[in-house]
């Protein structure tokens, strides 16, 4: 069963966001989503300086067998993107909560977020 | 929809497979990484459970004449021991299924339809058999099919075949089959071994009774591991066949389509003397040029960028829809997106630049000759 990192919060669209109080916040996709997508081969991220809006698509993630939109879990300006994950998207599968992070946002407001326990319960993940 | 399990379902569970519904069957989609499974088949070997495929024996004095009538190809011309790719069409020339038929003797053939069409094909064959001295016997439910595909497939097979029969395996030609002794659970079983596949690599398919399937699966894995063999799921099977430019029923082939537009004109034998189901309609389609000189035909598309086209995406020329993608994904072997699409014949020449509407954004693709990938021999 796919891992759900307990220290993070999650959107219903399977993004995670760091909640250690630091700003900007780091955003990625959950292992549940990465496993469901299969081997990720392409990721399209918002550009640094762009403003993303909570609940709206801001990029896409493509695997060998499917493609899905990447949703912003928060509203704010993108301060950094993980170019290493763009160059080698396999890291999103192998380390979704670590080296496979996607982008950072200076958070203005949050969309609806789930705790790790709530997300795991809703998506069959394992804490 | 019922969800059938193959005799190897337990093996897949043990191996940690994730499953998908395919043609009414719960089949392994992947075991770990579909990319790793894809590359294993290209570079070493992959082990596939294809037991969801159908198996129908056609036997009797009229077997050859009957299949000439029931199928679009000339099955009577197939030599004993050889196999032939064919189509079963309706009276309108629509494609009911694509299938492989193995001629096992003068009066006996094994016909292998796709999983989702197996019951339909078996019933149609029985129906079309009226007036012919043949017996149509659907053994899909009791027959398993295990494939070993990849450059190391032969070496792996030989580990389970008695030395005296090695020449039978080594000399077996592509699209041919032979009964060969294969060691399963400590005893040698005479099994039907075919040099066929759906991956674009060398490989074998082994037909056997359900009861023996788990033991053969385990034996192949045990002796194949040293040759790089890993189990491979339907995700890898799909990316492998797409690179090899092979059509998938339900994507490229359908009742609404016909063989000529799908590039399968050579599979239809209008030259055979006897009548066959769909003959008049197919002759008229060929005469009209539909799918060859007018209308749409199946082509290969190569992505210029990194984003992949997917099934049902519109194909554009100067912003006008001139076709539709039937299958597409990033090619693991080639490193760029590949797709199959039906496009207007005016834009079907290799080298033509087209766009695919990728969720609202036009991305450039080039028409290329098929297959995308051809193995080095």
Question: Could you say which of A62, A65, A90 has the minimum Cβ distance to residue B34?
Answer: A65
Looking at the structure, tell me whether residues B19 and B160 fall in a common domain. Answer: yes
Contact B310 A67 (CB under 8 A): yes
Please tell me the total count of domains within chain B. 2
Q: What are phi and psi of B45, to 5 degrees?
A: -170, 150
- At B128-181, the pLDDT tens digits run 999 999 999 999 999 999 999 999 999 999 999 999 999 999 999 999 999 999
Identify the pLDDT of residue B2. 58
Q: Which of B243, B264, B285 is the last residue of a domain?
A: B243
By percentage, how much of chain B surpasses pLDDT 70? 99
Number of domains composing chain A = 1
**Which member of B36, B238, B330 has the closest CB to residue A42?**
B330
Q: In this structure, is residue B206 part of a structural domain?
A: yes
Which of B225, B243, B261 is a domain's end point? B243
Q: Strand pairing of B45-49 and B229-231?
A: parallel
Is B205 assigned a ligand-binding role in the annotation?
yes
Strands lying side by side in the sheet with B177-184: B177-184, B187-194, B203-209, B143-149, B45-49, B229-231
Asked if B23 is an interface residue toward chain A (Cβ–Cβ < 8 A), one would say: no
The strand ranges marked E within B5-72 are 18-22, 25-30, 45-49, 56-59
Quickly list DSSP for B89-141: E-TTS-EEEEEEEEEEETTEEEEE--GGGHHHHHHHHHHHTTTSS-EEEE-GG
In a domain, A20, yes or no: yes
Average pLDDT, whole number, for chain B?
A: 96
Judge if B162 and B239 occupy the same domain.
Answer: yes
Q: How many CA atoms lie within 13 A of B281 on its CB side?
A: 15
CATH at residue A26: 2.40.50.100
Q: What is the pLDDT of residues B341-362, one digit of tens each?
A: 999 999 999 999 999 999 899 9
Domain shared by B208 and B311, yes or no: no
A39 to chain B, any CB pair closer than 8 A? The answer is: yes
What's the CA gap between B149 and B204, in Å, rounded?
Answer: 6
Q: In terms of residue numbers, what domain contains A12?
A: 8-123
**Is residue A1 in some structural domain?**
no
| B355: containing domain | 295-370
- Judgement on whether residues B154 and B226 belong to the same structural domain of the protein: yes
Chain B residues close to A93, C-beta within 8 Å = 33
Q: Which of B203, B221, B243 is the last residue of a domain?
A: B243
pLDDT at res. A106: 96
The pLDDT of residue B256 is: 95
Query: Is A121 an interface residue toward B (CB < 8 Å)?
Result: no
Judge whether B199 lies within some domain. yes
Q: Is residue B129 part of a domain?
A: no
> A62 at the B interface (CB within 8 A)?
yes
Q: What is the CATH number of the domain that holds B305?
A: 2.40.30.110
Residue B213 lies in a domain: yes
Q: Is B93 part of any domain? A: no
Q: Which of B36, B329, B359 sits opposite A65 (nearest CB)?
A: B329
Answer whether residue B304 is part of any domain: yes
A124 confidence band (pLDDT: 50, 70, 90): confident
The answer on B230 and B306 residing in a single domain is no
Average pLDDT over residues B61-82: 98
pLDDT for residue A125 is more than 70: yes
Cα separation, B8 vs B342, in Å, equals 36
Q: What ipTM was assigned to the predicted interfaces of this complex?
A: 0.76
Whether residue B158 is contained in a domain is answered as: yes
A33 in a structural domain: yes
The residue of B329, B332, B358 whose CB has the most chain A CBs within 10 angstroms, and thus the best one to mutate to test that interface, is B329
Look at residue B96 in the predicted model and tell me its pLDDT.
98
Does residue A65 sit at the B interface (CB-CB below 8 Å)? yes
Region B199-218: mean pLDDT is 97
């Amino acid at each position: 069963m796919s891992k759900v990192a307990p220290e993070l919060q999650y959107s219903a669209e399977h993004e995670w966001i760091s909640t250690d109080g630091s700003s900007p916040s780091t955003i990625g996709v959950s292992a549940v989503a990465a496993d469901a997508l299969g081997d990720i081969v392409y990721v399209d991220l918002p550009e640094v300086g762009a403003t993303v809006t909570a609940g709206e698509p801001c990029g896409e993630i493509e695997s060998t067998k499917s493609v899905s939109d990447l949703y912003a879990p928060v509203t704010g300006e993108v301060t950094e993107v993980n170019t290493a994950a763009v160059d080698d998207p396999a890291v999103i599968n192998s380390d979704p909560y670590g080296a496979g992070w996607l982008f950072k946002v200076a958070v203005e407001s949050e969309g609806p977020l789930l705790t790790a326990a709530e997300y795991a319960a809703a998506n069959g993940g394992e804490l | 929809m019922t969800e059938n399990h193959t005799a190897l379902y337990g093996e897949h569970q043990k191996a940690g497979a994730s499953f998908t519904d395919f043609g009414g069957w719960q089949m392994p989609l992947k075991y770990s990484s579909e990319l790793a499974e894809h590359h294993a088949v290209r570079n070493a070997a992959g082990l596939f459970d294809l037991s969801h495929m159908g198996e129908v024996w056609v036997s009797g004095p009229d077997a050859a004449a009957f299949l000439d009538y029931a199928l679009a190809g000339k099955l009577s011309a197939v030599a004993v021991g050889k196999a032939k790719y064919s189509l079963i069409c309706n009276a309108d020339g629509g494609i009911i299924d694509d299938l492989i038929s193995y001629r096992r003797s003068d009066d006996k053939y094994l016909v292998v339809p796709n999983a989702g069409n197996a019951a339909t094909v078996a019933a149609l064959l029985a129906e079309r058999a009226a007036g012919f001295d043949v017996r149509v016997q659907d053994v899909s439910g009791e027959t398993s099919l295990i494939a070993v595909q990849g450059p190391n497939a032969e070496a792996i097979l030989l580990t389970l075949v008695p030395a005296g029969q090695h020449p039978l395996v080594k000399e077996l030609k592509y699209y041919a089959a032979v009964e060969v002794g294969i060691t399963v659970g400590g005893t040698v079983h005479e099994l039907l071994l075919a040099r066929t596949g759906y991956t674009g690599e060398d490989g074998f398919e082994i037909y056997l009774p359900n009861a023996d399937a788990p033991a053969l699966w385990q034996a192949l894995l045990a002796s194949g591991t040293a040759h790089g063999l890993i189990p491979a799921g339907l995700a890898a099977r799909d990316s492998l066949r797409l690179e090899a430019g092979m059509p998938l029923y339900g994507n490229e082939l359908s009742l609404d389509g016909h063989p000529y537009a799908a590039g399968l004109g050579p599979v239809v034998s209008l030259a055979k003397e006897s009548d066959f189901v769909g003959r008049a309609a197919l002759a008229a389609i060929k005469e009209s040029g539909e799918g060859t000189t007018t209308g749409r035909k199946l082509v290969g598309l190569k992505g210029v960028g990194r984003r992949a086209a997917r099934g049902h995406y519109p194909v554009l020329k100067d912003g006008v829809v001139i076709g539709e993608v039937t299958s597409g994904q990033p090619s693991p072997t080639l490193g760029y997106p590949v797709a199959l699409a039906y496009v207007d014949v005016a834009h079907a020449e290799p080298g033509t630049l087209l766009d695919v509407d990728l969720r609202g954004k036009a991305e450039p693709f080039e028409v290329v000759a098929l297959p995308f990938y051809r193995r080095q021999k």
